Amino acid sequence: MKSKILAIVMLFTVLACASKKESQLDSLKKQRDKITQKIEKLESEIKLAGDSTANDVPSAFVAIEDIQPRTFNHYIEVQGKLDGDDNLAIYPESMGNLVAVYAKVGQHVSAGQVLAQINDAAYQEQLKALQSSYDLALETYQKQENLWKQQIGSEIQLLQAKNAKETLESQISGVKKQIDMTRIKSPINGNVEESNVRVGQAVSPSMPAFRVVNFSNLKVIADVAEAYTSKIKPGDEVIVYLPDIDQEINAKITFSSKYINPTNRTFTVEAQLKSRSDKLKANMVAVLKINDYKANKAFTLPMSLIQADSKGNYVFVAKQENNQYVVKKQIIQTGQIYNGIAEVVTGLEPGNKVITSGYLNLNEGEVVRF
């Protein structure tokens, strides 16, 4: 009897627990249904808001430039070199061994200053001998002249004495010139930039001993192709670019040769520089940018913006229609091109809004904003 009662109690307990879990499950399902409804409502509202925004916002963002006339310059670029107004290699005037070197590289020297001395001992001995002979010849002549004034002796004796004196004078002058030629001198004021000699070295007129450069007046020398003969003249403005020191200097053409080199069909031009920078050195590479074309009021565009189709070159512009900006193709004609910038001869007007960024994926008629 007790076991039956216990079984009944356990059965009711199990049924009660099952009923409680079913009640919890129903409650959770109702909560889930409410959350699902809220999610669907929010999604619908977001979608409607997105569609409304899409109808008001242009399809693409772009950058534009309001075109205005500006100065356009075209340059001919030729490579030349930097030089001093005086840049001289100094050669000995006679042969011999050096007994002294007075000038060092980097030293400032004056015109006529002795830079080195060639052995002149033989000439000095010759000069001494001639000087002794001359002293005797001079004394003989003076005495013969006095006697002639006293009407003593013959005229031929006087003339012979005079000739001997003058001959020795000429010989002494020649030896002194030879002695002077043993002195290597600077013909200009400037700085010693090269020294190719040392004491004891044998030198000759065929071998340069020093290089002296006067940098008080700088210039750029360049060879220009024959085709530009009519486009370049003295007074033309140029830009001198020195790539080694990344510097530009404004200058003017001071010389344009009238001679065409038959070997390479070029002519020489020079431009004087006013710069006195210590960075400038002889034979430094210089790029001469010669201004051969100038337009004071020109429309210019980077070449990267210009596209082409069967009708020719064009750019995209933004034109206002119905309070919106629409992409249009603008056919243009280009002129001179320099350094990636093109002169636009026809097709543009002041204030045209040329699209400069985001134009690669655009189509004509597309609405844009900026």
Q: Is 364 helix (H, G, I), strand (E, B) or coil?
A: coil
Per DSSP (E only), the strands in 310-348 are: 312-321, 324-331, 333-338, 341-346
pLDDT tens, position by position, for the chain (370 residues)? 555 555 554 555 544 555 666 777 777 777 777 787 777 777 666 655 544 444 454 467 888 889 899 999 888 889 999 887 788 899 999 999 999 999 999 899 999 999 999 999 999 999 999 999 999 989 888 888 888 888 887 888 888 888 988 999 999 999 999 999 999 999 998 889 899 999 999 999 999 999 998 877 788 999 999 988 888 889 888 899 999 888 888 999 999 999 999 999 999 999 988 776 777 887 889 999 988 888 999 999 999 999 998 889 999 999 988 888 999 999 999 999 998 999 999 999 998 999 988 888 888 888 988 8
Cα distance between residue 15 and residue 11, in whole Å = 6
In angstroms, what CA-CA distances link 205 with 93, 113, 224, 235, 300? 5, 18, 34, 40, 59
Per DSSP (E only), the strands in 186-276 are: 190-195, 202-203, 210-225, 237-242, 247-256, 266-273
Q: Which residues pair with 60 in a beta bridge?
A: 368
Do the Cβ atoms of 200 and 98 come closer than 8 Å? yes
Strands 108-109, 190-195: pairing is antiparallel
**Radius of gyration of the chain measured on its C-alpha atoms:** 49
Cα distance between residue 194 and residue 200, in whole Å = 18
Cα 273 from chain centroid (whole Å): 14
Tokens coding 191: 């700085």
Packing angle of the helix pair 121-149, 155-181 (nearest 10 deg): 160
DSSP state of 153: S
List the domain boundaries for the chain. Answer: 60-72+297-369, 77-81+215-293, 88-195
Placement of tokens 């636009």 in the chain? 344
In angstroms, what CA-CA distances link 180 with 89, 93, 177, 226? 19, 9, 5, 46
Strands 183-185, 114-118: pairing is antiparallel
Tokens coding 123: 């000439």
Cα distance between residue 211 and residue 113, in whole Å = 14
Tokens coding 87: 């840049």
Element (H, E) at 174: helix 155-181
Fold for the domain defined by 77-81+215-293 = Elongation Factor Tu (Ef-tu); domain 3 (2.40.30)
* Domain 60-72+297-369 belongs in CATH node 2.40.50.180: no
Q: Which residues pair with 92 in a beta bridge?
A: none
Cα distance between residue 144 and residue 133, in whole Å = 16
DSSP state of 229: G
Smallest Cα–Cα separation from 301: which of 336, 270, 259, 276? 336
Cα distance between residue 101 and residue 200, in whole Å = 10
